[in-house]
Amino acid sequence: MLIGRPLSLGQFGNMVAAFSRGDGEMLISVALGQVLSLLICGIGLTSKYLSEDFHANTPVFQSFLNYILLFLVYTTTLAVRQGEENLLAILRRRWWKYMILGLIDLEANYLVVKAYQYTTLTSIQLLDCFVIPVVILLSWFFLLIRYKAVHFIGIVVCILGMGCMAGADVLVGRHQGAGENKLVGDLLVLGGATLYGISNVWEEYIIRTLSRVEFLGMIGLFGAFFSGIQLAIMEHKELLKVPWDWQIGLLYVGFSACMFGLYSFMPVVIKKTSATSVNLSLLTADLYSLFCGLFLFHYKFSGLYLLSFFTILIGLVLYSSTSTYIAQDPRVYKQFRNPSGPVVDLPTTAQVEPSVTYTSLGQETEEEPHVRVA
């Protein structure tokens, strides 16, 4: 029984409503992640048509189109802003950091796409999961995020779902494609997954301390610059071989639209959830591509694919069901705004702010009412 004054009917109703809101937020978080997965599915399908049906192997050019769109929308937005959020002011303070981030983002995309030429689809699906421990470790040490047991359980369940999907691929014969340089392909996937993890955690850091528009504007600027150079050096001959017609043009437009949507929407989801949660959500992208391939490319079906899909969703729900927390006062977390400024020692008599919890459900304080139960 309850110790102390018993709960009134109104208080009980408020508690039920709070739990309902929490469940609603959790489902919204999972749904937002699935929107990102569907965008990746669109990217994969258009890339497959371009490479296999029209022999247009132009991964750098495809990335270049996306960076140009980001530049036209977000970099120009920064250019017309005033004060500290102006493009030139940002470049004066942090240009070299965004230059490194733009290069990392470009090469992460390139390495994974290149790996398809050397290793199997199954290897890529499994090794690409390496991004998850990378994100967890970087979030732990640099973002100071701490996880609970249920988070690790959810992560393990998601990875088991991926293993189930890889097993289904082997059973239905979709693990073909390995050449003599399978080890090279596997190393390319691991390298790409590592760079993806670095990019995602860096992205979370920027959008929490600065802004989404600044991140996308600077990625568009430096991504377009480096991809243009790489395109001119490595891919100009492939681009000249493309048999241009309206179908190929439409596929490039579809790819660019999905890629631009992914880059524009991902910071919104990361800010609401986290980089770890987003990468877990993206595990279902291969399954969406497979389900589309059943109709478009006549893939063979296995019941293990459905089992894999629901296993990953269960892992996502488990991960999103409780909050992560920051191990340090959030004021330290926000020093990136003025890294060269003086550090002010707060008086010890000042009132301590409640620590902020960045979670899969947004932000909340750790001050919760406690109910004592006999």
Domain total in the chain: 1
pTM: 0.79
In a domain, 112, yes or no: yes
Domain annotation covers residue 36: yes
Check residue 163 and give its pLDDT. 87
Return the pLDDT at 366: 40
- Taking the C-alpha atoms of residue 222 and residue 100, their distance in angstroms, rounded to an integer, is 9
**Assigned domain for 58 exists:** yes
pLDDT of residue 180: 59
Is residue 157 assigned to a domain? no
Which H/E stretch holds residue 364? strand 362-365
Helices 285-296 and 149-172: crossing angle in degrees, nearest 10, is 20
- pLDDT value at position 326? 84
Among candidates 192, 217, 251, 203, which has minimal Cα distance to 62? 251
The position carrying tokens 């899909």 is 309
| Residue stretches of the chain with pLDDT short of 70 | 1-23, 121-122, 174-180, 328-374
On whether residue 343 sits in a domain, the answer given is: no
> For residue 371, is it within any domain?
no
Domain region containing 53: 20-148+175-279
240, part of any domain: yes
Coil, helix or strand at residue 25: helix
Q: Determine, yes or no, domain membership for 201.
A: yes
